[in-house]
Structure 1
Amino acid sequence: HSNLERVVSEYNDTSKVIQPDTLYRLFERQALETPENVAIEFKDRGITYQELRVMSNRIARYLEMNGVQTNDFVGVIVNREIETIANILAILKTGAAYIPINPDFPKERQTYILQDGECKISLTPELAKSIISTYEESKSDSKASPDQIAYAIYTSGSTGKPKGVVITHQAVTNTIIDINSKFKVNARDRFIGLSSMSFDLSIYDIFGAFSVGATLVMIEDQRDVKTIYHIVKEKGITVWNSVPMIMEMLVNYMDEEEKKPSIEAIDYDELPDLRLVLLSGDWIPVTLPERIQDHFVDSKVISLGGATEASIWSIYYPINQVKKEWASIPYGYPLANQTYYVLDYNSELCPVGVKGELYIGGKGVAEGYLNAKEKTEASFIEHPSYGRLYKTGDVGVFTQEGYIEFQGRKDHQIKIRGYRVELGEIESVILEHRKVKNVTVINRKDKRNQDVLCAYVVGNQSLDINELKTFIGSQVPIYMVPTYIVQIE
């Protein structure tokens, strides 16, 4: 047993001096140092750090005039626009925290999040454009401090309502600074912004880039693989961060493209500027890393894992080569100042090779769920030996090789397109329909081995499946609407 303790404590010996910081200061410092660097490119626009700083200062002035103070929450409707990022920066500057709201979500869900988060005010890109053209810049220094809340991100909740994960500045900057130093991210890098800004991967895109003076190239639609391909190629993208499925889409497209007899002789060797590929949020197909390296010869592919509840990522594994016998890519080793444990039902260490539940500790652990004491107490525990831990609901095993292997979920939560989906949430929405008596939702694999949702419904004779689909779509995001709805006796 003491040997096990030793092995696990060595595995979790990740301490590294990272000065507590705020997301806003990471940006501001860089804006003063490299004002002329391009901060964001989107469609045909490019704006410098200095211009972005002025924009966000004007919005900050608007927030000050409207009584927004430190520790308030402010909603941001996160359309893919440069102004959305200016909105986020402005909120953080005032010492308030932002709650991102996906504009594609049904109105009811948007309203629920704004109310549940007690948002003082909410910002949209349209509002930002009018503020930027009429307001002076805020002259005050940033009011944010590292121990204050930076953001609350809403994720699917098992009881039918999403819950907001509350993260402080020091927790999230710890992750960002560590990743940048591990992979030597610098001012010459060019990030591609694929993830929705209501998803925490986007926080690394934005502030990973802004903390070093790099450029963020925003993508309008992450499903538009042709445009993604051209942007990677023509804009010299060097850093990619997404769920595995989007990268898989890109290499599939490239495989097809390169088979075609080309009218213009495209030299595919010109493509590889991409040097760093960060994949997380779902299983990485074991064949994918090699396929990526076939196209992007010099790229490093890194598997990352963790939870929104522990500041983007907590564990990583550089995929140098995939061994024949691997059933999955190793989950890996904890990031700086973070810890990972495999515990049994008594919250004690599982022996090497024995399955248990994964817990995350260290600097990234969330404050809890917003205005939800019971949910917080159920998921965040005070461990007698390991301090405050987040109980992930993931299952894994500590291997003989000295790293953790991920083995799926122990509950009814799954990932669809990288988004967290609680089957219970979908079921409770369907049960609200007056013609539905009973329902069960399960996930199955389609031909491409992707998860799809199937709902089996017991209802009145007059229940119309299309009408039910529309009803579900008015309550939950599109990725939570079951692909198949089957009426059963």
Structure 2
Amino acid sequence: MSSTPDAVAVSAPLDGTTLTYRRLDERANRLAHRLIGLGVRPGDPVAVLMERSPEVVVALLAVVKAGAAYLPLHSAYPLARMQQITDRAGAPVLLTDAALRSRGLPRAGEVVEPATDPAVAAAPATDPGVACDPDAVAYVIHTSGSTGAPKGVEVTHRGVLAFTADSSWSEAHRRILSLAPYAFGVSTYEIWVPLLRGGRVVLAPPGEPDVATVRRLLADEGVTALHVTAGLFRVFAQEAPDVFAPVREVLTGGDVIAPTAVRRVLDACPDTVVRAMYGATELTAFAACATMTAACPPDGPVPVGRPMDGMDFRLLGPGLVPVPDGETGELYVAGDRLARGYHHDTALTEDRFVTDPAGTRMYRTGDLMRRTADGRLEFAGRVGDQVKIRGYLVEPGEVEHVLARQDGVADVAVVARDDGPGEDKRLVAYVVPGGRFDGTGTDGLRDAVAALLPGYMVPAAFVVLDALPLTPNGKLDRAALPAPGRPAPAPVPETEGLTPGRRLLCDLFARALGLDAVGPHDSFFELGGESLQAIRLAGRIGAELGVEVSAADILSHPTVAELETLLRDLTPAPL
């Protein structure tokens, strides 16, 4: 595992847990033997559903040691979506923990809780010695699919090893903070880059990150690098740009990166490098990067950058013909990091992974780009309807499929909108009622989507129309779809007698949501609030009141009145 087996491999600072390379290896070996004893064979999928903790890292390594492929389930997924994924995998063994077992698990072939399973504790601590084919599947990560079901991307061991060996991962990436859910491709960077290069994984606590927690972890744990999504990077740049000062590099991507946010961070952290990352799950996480420093900040749109080691980027037009520099083409990528394809979906695999006339296998990204005179790539849009929401690639068609199945929905369209400068892109559902749904109240539709899809795929707004606007040739006229209005907050009676503290909280809620006013009993989420705005609000409350509040606190106390009750126990002075 390491030339220094007693060095710390994994730490969870906020609960004081650490694992050395020796201990990590022994625990993963025991669990691997347990999986093999349950009949897990090379190539089999093993589902993993756990909170972010050292147990997750043990589980992922154990699955690999057993020769199997880990199938991560995101704890924020609705149970129905988890069931879709495990059913397609053929009811695999499921590894879980006490916290998530208590919330309810999808049906699986066998459920194992490694931390409490006596058969795991009694298993040998020696390596099981299972041979591994480099082209075998290491993990299957599910992303949004246009057919109404998530699609599973099969990433190989060869792809992971090539990714972790990239020359980009200098000493700056020895101690990496893990913030992303392990069910997303960024976790390949956060977990396998440090472990396969003798570094350390520093685990953030479960849940949404917040400024105060990230600041403490970066300052106290010697973190040298981390990745945050473009949306979260923008929030940190606005609220606390100096938070990244302790690290050597901060990586960001997953969506369009605001150059103003990059400049704010570089101004506040002149010794920190900001690295823009481009990639896809199908490319084993990142495939290109652009480095920005205080001496060389972006002077325009943040570029996609240059391909990483072994990645061959091609801008092609119709018939796979290369386009000249300066002209827009679709990006195709070749190299040894390409995924094997999509789990149990030959047709989609053949559509997205194509072969050029010379026989080279390429991944068709769906991204439109142009190459500048100095060889850098610039993003120019998407082919088709895929969009990025909070850093996640989303097929609006999948949301449409869910809504179209609801009783009383005659027609529906789901689009992504950003209706103002600095606004985050959000999904909007346009619904034509029919049958039992008469168009009054859309909470039932929102709940139906939330029961089947992750939170980032639930539309932020629903607009009821008599009919969807169409172009003369009968297609949806997206330009004619009206912008959704924000819900008006309930009026605050003059007799309410707001205290100064409650008035301040109402003002902070309103500013975070971009509203003129918010009443003390208005729900943050019913007013259109999302996780990034909750992180922003938590930071502003901390700055104004001198008290540490997390995004999770806002999730569980979504009104001013509820949050005020919590803050009374935390603030040094009365509200």
Q: TM-score, normalised by structure 2?
A: 0.74
Q: Deviations over 1:305-349 (max 9, x none)?
A: 12111111111211242353x2x1111211111111100011110
Corresponding residue for residue 145 of structure 1: 133
Residue 47 (str. 1) matches residue 19 (str. 2): yes
Aligned residue in 2 for 1:80? 52
Is 1:434 equivalent to 2:407 in the alignment? yes
Q: Distance in 2 between matches of 1:465 and 1:112?
A: 25
Task: Tell me whether 213-222 or 193-202 shows the greater mean CA deviation.
Answer: 213-222
The answer to whether the 8 Å contact 1:62/1:131 transfers is no
2:386 to 408, 413, 417: 413
Alpha-carbon RMSD: 1.9
Task: After superposition, give the CA deviation of every residue in 1:244-266 in whole Å (9 maximum; x if it has no partner).
Answer: 222222233325xx8xxxxxxxx
Task: Specify the alignment match of 1:21 in structure 2.
Answer: none
- Supply the distance in 1 between the matched residues of 2:25 and 2:209 (Cα, whole angstroms): 30
The 5 A counterparts of 1:37-436 are 37-42=7-12, 43-44=14-15, 45-126=17-98, 127-131=113-117, 134-139=121-126, 140-178=128-166, 181-185=167-171, 189-220=174-205, 221-254=207-240, 272-320=245-293, 321-324=296-299, 326=300, 328-385=301-358, 387-436=360-409
Which stretch of structure 1 is more off in the superposition, 124-133 or 48-57?
124-133
Q: Does the Cα contact within 8 Å between 2:162 and 2:336 map onto a contact in 1? A: yes
Where 1:130 maps in the other structure, the secondary structure is coil
Q: Are 1:185 and 1:212, in contact at CA under 8 Å, matched by a contact in 2? A: no
What SS class does the counterpart of residue 433 from structure 1 fall into?
coil
The DSSP-based 3-state class of the residue aligned with 2:213 is helix
Q: Does structure 1 retain, via aligned residues, the 8 Å contact 2:369–2:381? A: yes
> How many angstroms does 1:137 deviate by?
2.5
Higher alpha-carbon Rg: 2
SS in 2 for 1:406: strand
1:488 maps to 2:465: yes
Output the CA distance in 2 between the equivalents of 1:412 and 1:223: 29
Residues 396 and 407 in structure 1, CA contact (< 8 A), matched pair in contact too: yes
CA gap of 1:466–1:114, structure 2 versus 1, over 3 A, is same
By how many angstroms is 1:77 displaced? Answer: 1.0
- Separation in 2 of the partners of 1:94 and 1:164? 21
Q: Structure 2: where are the runs of 5+ without partners?
A: 99-112, 467-575
Residues 156 and 421, structure 1, Cα contact 8 Å, conserved in 2: yes
Contact conserved, 1:61 with 1:135, CA < 8 A, in 2? no
CA contact (8 A) 1:201 1:312 kept: yes
AA aligned to 2:46 is V
Counterpart residue number, 1:265 = none
**What residue identity is the alignment partner of 1:459?**
P
Deviations along 1:78-132, whole A, 9 cap, x unmatched? 4212111111100000111111111210111101111112353111134021137
Q: One-letter code of the match for 1:217?
A: V
Matched with 1:20 is: none
How far residue 62 of structure 1 moved from its aligned partner, in angstroms, is 1.0
Deviations 1:15-48 (A, max 9, x none): xxxxxxxxxxxxx2x2xx2222112221222222
Structure 1 residue ranges without an equivalent (≥5): 1-27, 259-267
Larger RCO (CA within 8 A; separation ≥ 6)? 1
Q: CA deviation at 1:351?
A: 1.1
The alpha carbon displacement at 1:477 in A equals: 0.3
Question: 2:424 and 2:350 mapped to 1: Cα distance?
Answer: 33
Query: Quick one: distance in 2 between partners of 1:296 and 1:60?
Result: 43
1:229 deviation in Å?
Answer: 1.6
Distance 1:145 1:138, change over 3 A: farther
Counterparts of 1:99 and 1:119, CA distance in 2? 11
Mean Cα displacement is larger for which, 399-408 or 376-385?
Answer: 399-408
Please name the residue that 1:457 is paired with. 431
Q: How far apart in 2 are the matches of 1:371 and 1:229?
A: 42
Q: Indicate the larger mover: 310-319 or 465-474.
A: 310-319
Q: Distance in 2 between matches of 1:118 and 1:454?
A: 34
Counterpart code for 2:81: R
Residues 211 and 240, structure 2, Cα contact 8 Å, conserved in 1: no
Check whether the contact 1:84–1:125 (CA below 8 A) recurs between aligned residues: no
Q: Give the TM-score normalised by structure 1.
A: 0.86
Deviation at 1:214, TM superposition (A): 1.6
Instruction: Find the aligned partners of 1:216 and 1:296 in 2 and give their Cα distance.
Output: 23
How far apart are the structure 2 equivalents of 1:222 and 1:47? 24
How far apart are residue 138 of structure 1 and its match?
A: 4.9
3-state SS of 1:482 partner: coil
The letter of the residue matching 1:417 is R
Q: Give the match for residue 510 of structure 2.
A: none
Change (3 A) 1:312 1:386: farther
Do the aligned partners of residues 283 and 237 (structure 1) sit closer, same or farther apart at CA in structure 2, a change above 3 Å counting?
Answer: same
Q: Counterpart of 2:115 in 1: which secondary structure?
A: helix
Shift of 1:196: 0.6
**223-232 or 467-476: which moved more?**
223-232
**Residue 222 of structure 1, CA deviation:** 3.2
1:479 paired to 2:456: yes
- Give the Cα–Cα distance (whole angstroms) in 2 for the partners of residues 352 and 212 of structure 1: 37
Cα distance per residue 1:151-173 (max 9 Å; x no partner):
11111011111111111111121
Moved more, 54-63 or 456-465: 456-465
Superposed displacement of residue 219, structure 1: 1.3
- Count the aligned residue pairs: 441
